[in-house]
Amino acid sequence: MPPSLLLLPGPDVLEGGHVTLSCQSDGAPPPTLVLRREGAELQRAGPAPSSSSSVLTFNLSSAALEDSAHYSCEAANQHGSKMAAVTLRVKAPPRNTRVLVLPSAVVPLGHNVTVWCRSAGWPPPALTLTRLADGARLPRPPGGDVDGGFLLVDVRPEDGGRYRVNASNELGSEVTHFRITVTGNANANAND
């Protein structure tokens, strides 16, 4: 018989909350249960004495963002095996926001630069990029991915300076600053 795999209190839990994964299966002979996270074994339980069912309970006393994963429970005896699966999503505010400026944060006048932003959290944080000198929000390129790729095309002197990345979701936000330096002179060909 296929196992039942329950997530208590449910598939979405706040970071720091208590989570219980409970797997149960009946069979003759009673099955061995194996709980896995993303395919890696977490816990194994044999059949209860004098019973046709097996029960496995796994507790996360303080759920962390890293516990968000696909969990499966396999029930197996000599007649075969069956599997059940659930997905746990641990809700957390944005953190570890990182910025990568390519090819470099020092950009020659007239060149292009890509700013990649990434932030951990659930739900996935929304990312905005603002130039601090004038408060201008930089647009995302069409089809931009969730990791926050922003493109500055034909960089001008006014594109130099400090920028702010804001990562936010329903649980909070995190702000990171960085600087772009534009090199070269718009009047390089002018005589002194």
Domains of the chain as residue ranges with CATH: 4-91 (2.60.40.10), 93-183 (2.60.40.10)
pLDDT of amino acid 149: 83
pLDDT of amino acid 192: 37
Residue 151 identity (one-letter amino acid):
L
Residue whose C-alpha is closest to residue 102's, from 91, 111, 113: 113
pLDDT of amino acid 49: 73
Residue 68's Cβ-count burial label (10 Å; 0-12, 13-18, 19+) is buried
CA 122-125-130 angle, to 5 degrees, is: 165
CA distances from 85 to 37, 41, 72, 100, 182 (A): 10, 13, 4, 36, 52
pLDDT of amino acid 30: 87
For the whole model, what pTM was predicted?
0.76
pLDDT of amino acid 141: 63
Q: Which residues of the chain have pLDDT under 70?
A: 1, 141-148, 185-192
pLDDT of amino acid 43: 94
